A = this chain, B = another copy of it.
Amino acid sequence: MSPRKSDSRERMVRSTVTLLREYGASATSIDRVLAHSGAPRGSVYHHFPRGRTQLIEEAVALAGDFVAGVIEAAAQADDPVEAIDRFFAVWRDRLVDNGFRAGCPVVAVAVETNDDAPQLTHTAGAVFADWQDALTALFRRHRLPEDRSRRLAALVVAAEEGAVIMCRAQQSIAPMEAVAAEIHELLVHALSNRPPTEPPPPGP
């Protein structure tokens, strides 16, 4: 593939991400992706033989990998409370940077029933599952029990996605700040109740 062709392919996927984030899945037509990316019409079925469905799948996967990278970077923190604080800080900064115009492209796909392309729903579900798995592994490394770790991971993803939507609707970062503070509190509490690594020392 020539560099130019590969460049137009990548531009189209990135335009799809941007359009999903701002206008949702139904509004993300091939015409709009072409107009936004400036890619030539002839390139659509060359790069994406399955057309719009494939474009949206690849956009969701790209966004999924991006957030998985955010989780991985945040997980380098010394403790999971700081890691999750960093995770929410990234979302806060992104919302402020885009002036509350853009949300999550995975959510955009998940909130529309795709009768003609049900695989889009599965793709969105698989991305959420990847994030949940990465967060579960983070909590497990810090000795939280398996079932608790899975539940906390689901809450972090759900609360983050819900807060992004509320922040957009209210044009305010307050919901994200509130959610981050409460999950911080919950994690501190969960960690303080961990089973001890060593048998406790005998009492006096």
A80 at the interface (CB under 8 A from B): no
The reply to whether A171 and B125 form a contact with Cβ atoms under 8 Å apart is yes
- Nearest neighbor of A165 in chain B, beta-carbon distance: B110
The reply to whether B22 and A151 form a contact with Cβ atoms under 8 Å apart is no
A169 at the interface (CB under 8 A from B): yes
Interface string of A144-169 (1 = CB under 8 A from B): 00000011111101111111011011
Q: Which residues of B contact A155 (CB under 8 A)?
A: 159, 178-179, 182-183
A158 and B157 in contact, given A112-B27, A186-B185 (Cβ under 8 angstroms): no
Q: Which residues of B contact A159 (CB under 8 A)?
A: 155, 158-159, 162, 179
Interface size on A, residues (CB 8 A): 53
Q: Which residues of B contact A162 (CB under 8 A)?
A: 157-163, 165
A128 at the interface (CB under 8 A from B): yes
Q: Which residues of B contact A165 (CB under 8 A)?
A: 107, 110-111, 158, 161-162
A66 at the interface (CB under 8 A from B): no
Q: Which residues of B contact A125 (CB under 8 A)?
A: 166, 169-171
Q: Which residues of B contact A25 (CB under 8 A)?
A: 24, 26
Q: Which residues of B contact A183 (CB under 8 A)?
A: 155
Q: How far is the CA of A44 from the CA of B122 in the complex (A)?
A: 36
- Nearest neighbor of A129 in chain B, beta-carbon distance: B170
The reply to whether A169 and B110 form a contact with Cβ atoms under 8 Å apart is yes
Q: Which residues of B contact A152 (CB under 8 A)?
A: 182
Q: Which residues of B contact A168 (CB under 8 A)?
A: 110-111, 113, 121
